[in-house]
């Protein structure tokens, strides 16, 4: 795995809807920009060897960093994979939609639900939204949120940006009724 850069972003929302948020709502994002393991190979039928060589190391690299950056227990989480213009969306998906990658994050957060994800192809600087859901119960509405990200110089055409997002709480000032009230 060839890592060009690691990006870390921490957002703290201290007011929402004209009211203070106390404590501040924290969302962290950590991503690695890596060389696409299938770059320059044309159509690759079996992505398995690239997954085996990359996914677990990638999860081990960024999962502890996002938890540490958040600095609080993770309550909501999500993932992102943005492939450069010379790659396939399947290349991005192959690295994040495997237990070899995701289990590092689930173990670091004691999570039990599937990680919501965004994957897309785009040029350097493309904007993308990372979906987040509650880490143990995806039906908890207060934790359904997105985190917008843009990395000015990534991904290059033969790169993939792989990221994890974590929130220490649900949406600031959330006030929707529980899903169970509609069932």
In this predicted model, what pLDDT tens digit does every residue of 30-51 receive, in sequence order? Answer: 999 999 999 999 999 999 999 9
Say what the pLDDT of residue 176 is.
76
In this predicted model, what pLDDT tens digit does every residue of 5-39 receive, in sequence order? Answer: 999 999 999 999 999 999 999 999 999 999 999 99
- Spell out the domains of the chain, with CATH numbers in brackets: 3-182 (3.30.1330.110)
Instruction: Label residue 72 by pLDDT band (50, 70, 90).
Output: very high
Instruction: Label residue 3 by pLDDT band (50, 70, 90).
Output: very high
Angle at 122 between CA 43 and CA 44, to 5 degrees: 10
Say what the pLDDT of residue 181 is.
66
The Cα 167–Cα 174 span in angstroms is 14
Say what the pLDDT of residue 116 is.
96
Strand runs labelled E in 17-158? 19-35, 76-83, 117-121, 127-134, 145-150
Say what the pLDDT of residue 97 is.
97
In this predicted model, what pLDDT tens digit does every residue of 116-154 receive, in sequence order? Answer: 999 999 999 999 999 999 999 988 989 999 999 999 999
Say what the pLDDT of residue 174 is.
84
pTM, full prediction: 0.94
| Beta carbons of 80 and 58 less than 8 angstroms apart | no
In this predicted model, what pLDDT tens digit does every residue of 91-108 receive, in sequence order? Answer: 999 999 999 999 999 999
Say what the pLDDT of residue 61 is.
98
Say what the pLDDT of residue 175 is.
81
């Amino acid at each position: 795995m060839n890592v060009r850069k690691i990006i870390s972003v921490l957002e703290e929302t201290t007011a929402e809807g004209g009211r203070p948020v106390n404590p501040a709502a924290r969302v962290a994002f950590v991503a690695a920009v890596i060389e696409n393991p299938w770059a320059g190979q044309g159509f690759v039928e079996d992505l398995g060897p690239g997954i085996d060589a990359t996914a677990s190391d990638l999860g081990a690299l960024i999962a502890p960093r996002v938890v540490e950056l958040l600095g609080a227990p993770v309550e909501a989480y999500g993932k992102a994979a943005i492939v450069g213009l010379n790659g396939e969306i399947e290349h991005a998906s192959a690295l994040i939609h495997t237990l070899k990658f995701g289990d590092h994050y689930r173990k670091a957060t004691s999570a039990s639900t599937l990680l919501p994800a965004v994957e897309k192809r785009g040029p350097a600087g493309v904007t993308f939204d990372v979906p987040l859901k509650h880490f143990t119960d995806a039906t908890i509405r207060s934790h359904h949120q997105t985190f917008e990200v843009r990395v000015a110089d990534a991904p290059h055409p033969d790169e993939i940006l792989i990221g994890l997002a974590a929130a220490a709480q649900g949406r600031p000032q959330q006030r929707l009724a529980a899903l169970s009230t509609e069932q």
